Structures are given as C-alpha cells and as structure tokens.
Amino acid sequence: MAERYERPAWVKRVNAMAEAVGGAHFVVPLDPDELRAQVEASLGGTPAGDFGDPEWLGRFESLVAEIDASGMNVVGRLMTREELLRSLRARLLLNGALDAKPAIGDETIDAPVIVTGPARSGTSILFELLWLDPTLRGPLGWEALHPVPIAGADDRRLAATECEQEFWADVQPEFAAIHELRSDLPVECVTLTMPCFCGPHWPMVAQMPGYGHDVEEMYRFHRRILQVLQHGEPRRNWLLKTPGHLMTVDLVFQTYPDAWIVQTHRDPAKTMPSTVSTTAMVQWLRKDDVDVGTISMSVAAIFAGALNDVAQRRKSGALPERFVDVHFQDLLADPVATLRTAYDAMQREFTDEHADRIHQYLADKPKGKFGTHRYSAEEWGFSAAALREQLAPYIDHFGVALE
C-alpha cells in the first residue's frame, strides 16, 4: 500500500510518536475496563439503563483484544478508540431509552427497502437517489452514530459527527474518491450496527482472525436501533444498504419478512477488485502493513459464493420474490427510468418530484467530484477472465453486461 499512497505529513508525524515511547499501544491504550469507565464517566457516572444483552461484554472484551493485537499505528488506534467509546456510549443510551419507553419495542419496521450488491456496482449512488424519495427514510450519519440525544444537553450530534465522518479523507485524501462520508448523508447498516460489537465494521478496519461475527445478534440489534430511531417520528419505510446483506439474505427476511431487496449488478471483473481496493484502503488508514493477498482471497471466496448462491436460489424459487434488479449500466445511462422500473416492481409510486430531485442531485454531484478511483483486476491480485469464469452462474442468470 505504501507504494500506492503517500501519507500526509501530519499522519506520518503522529504515527512516528510511537517510536519515542515504545509503541503505538503506549500512546493510545485500549483496555476494555478503562473504556467502559470512561463512557460511564462521560455520562455523569450514573447513566440510565445498562449495556444490554448478557453476552455483549464478552464480545466487547474479545473485540478490544483483537484490535489491540492487530498492529494499528497511532492514528489508527486513535480512530478506533474513538469509535469504541462512541459505540459504547450509543449502546448505553439506546438501552436506557428502551428501558424508559418499553413501547419502543412494539414499533413495527414495515417493508424496508434494502440495497445490496458488491462494491462499485452502483450501490452508493442508488442508495442516495432512493433517499431523495420523501416516502423513504435512510439513517443519516449523525443519527446512526448518535441515535439518542443526551438529556439536558444541546443537540450537537450533527457537529459531533462531522469530524469523525470526514476524518477518514483527512488521513488519506484518496479515500474521498472511493467513498464519500458525510454526517448528513444516509449511511450503511455497517455503521448502524457498530454498537453491537459483532457487526462487519470491526473486521473491515483490521484483519482480526479471532473476531466473533454473531450475525443473529447483529440483526436483533439492527432492528432495535431502527425502532429507537423511528419511535415518535412520522412513519416512513426505511431505506437501508450494505453489501453484506447478500451473504445473509435468510436473516434479512427472518428479521424483515416484507422487505424489498434491491440487488445491483455489474461485471465482477470491475466489482471484485474494487471491493479489495476499498477494504485495503480502509485498513491502510489505520495500519502500515496491509495484507492485500489475504483480502483478495477472502473477497473472492465470500462474494463469489454469495453472488452465485443468491442467483441459484432465486432461479429455483428458494428465496421470496421480493427482489428488484438494477444493472449498473442501466443506472448510469438513465437513472430516472431505471428507478421508475424498480418502483413498478415494488408497487411503489415514482413521482415527478422524485425525478426532479434526482436530476438536480446528479447535477450537483458530478462523477469524479473527488477524483477518480482507478483500478484493474490484475493490480489487486485477480484475473478478469478467471473472475468471470468463477462467477459464470451469477453472470448468466442475471445477464450481467461485461465491460
């Protein structure tokens, strides 16, 4: 990674501080008991509620130990320490809100629209264009990171979130060309589920072989946080997104039986290398030695398996007929027509107002606004021909155009 990206000078200097004191872990310590005490102290020492399900502490302690041993540099440990503290705080406040208002647990999450597909297949821009529909509600960055306001304090959650969301591109400016993070844009379920300490954010930021990914608990938490955010607000269908839902479609429908899954499609010779480059960049923000080879093998195994499996199961009728397909090339060529077709499939009304919003949004956000994310299959450890052969069941079933 060092040969691809030059770190900003300030990042180099902060990371170099580790040499003066014997290591990054002395500059930014990570201890589960100390982190928990800090969060409780930050809320006045006697916060309402507790941390939730009895298994949470074991997951948290194991996660912190894995992060501590993952070899993060000073900046990486600082970023991750803040995320751990903020997630602990959110978890404590969420459970306090549920204890104070048991009716929150009766909230129904009706027919969420869930965008999923591999990276660089149009998931992010599709997510944002769907979010322009006033009948849908995507979780915004500030409310996902801070779902419960602190009693008695001015609500400064938007300002508190801006620095964390935009800091990633400060650490490595090229990150903005891969993915724009903003506190006022909708965020993925990866972000929503951070406080469960068993979701996909944590193994994304560092390779942690001992990490326990409790997917069932993750979806239980996912539903609870949506209930808290929804309570007392005007009822709209939730708009959600993350590539990981491809691997867990059964749990998606178990949690939200009437969900619509909007699946994006693109040539895997484009999407698989981009998934690797994105994951490698996320880890490079926090580590000096990123194992790109391991990331490539993991991405190939996980995504290829999921894409082929979903294709086969949809073909055989083993999955609910609650899928809508959006092809990347169609979305680029005519986003309004593509969304109109998707809405027809979901039996939702696509309005002229929504179409106008899409045109204006795209005019204000031209392609390449933050630079171009350039990549090829070969430079990230793949062969385009081999990828297409491996993903042939997926390509053939959905008629995916090769680029």
Domain ranges of the chain: 9-398
- Largest alpha-carbon pair distance within the chain? 62
Say how far apart CA 401 and CA 388 lie, in whole Å. 11
* pTM assigned to the model: 0.93
In the chain, the percentage of residues whose pLDDT exceeds 90 is: 72
When mean pLDDT is compared across 59-73, 225-239, 294-308, the lowest value belongs to: 294-308
Query: What does the alpha-carbon distance between residue 140 and residue 233 come to, in Å, rounded to a whole number?
Result: 14
For the stretch 251-267, pLDDT in tens is 999 999 999 999 999 99
The total number of residues shown for the chain amounts to 403
CATH architecture of 9-398: 3-Layer(aba) Sandwich (3.40)
**Cα distance between residue 274 and residue 353, in whole Å:** 33
Question: Does residue 172 carry a pLDDT above 70?
Answer: yes
Predicted pLDDT at 106: 94
pLDDT computed for residue 286 by the predictor: 96
Neighbours of 35 (CB within 10 A): 19
Q: Of 131-140, 175-184, 243-252, 337-346, which range is least confident?
A: 175-184
At 338, which amino acid appears? T
Tell me how far CA of residue 312 lies from CA of 114, 131, 250, 298, 320, in angstroms.
20, 30, 14, 21, 13
pLDDT at 119: 81
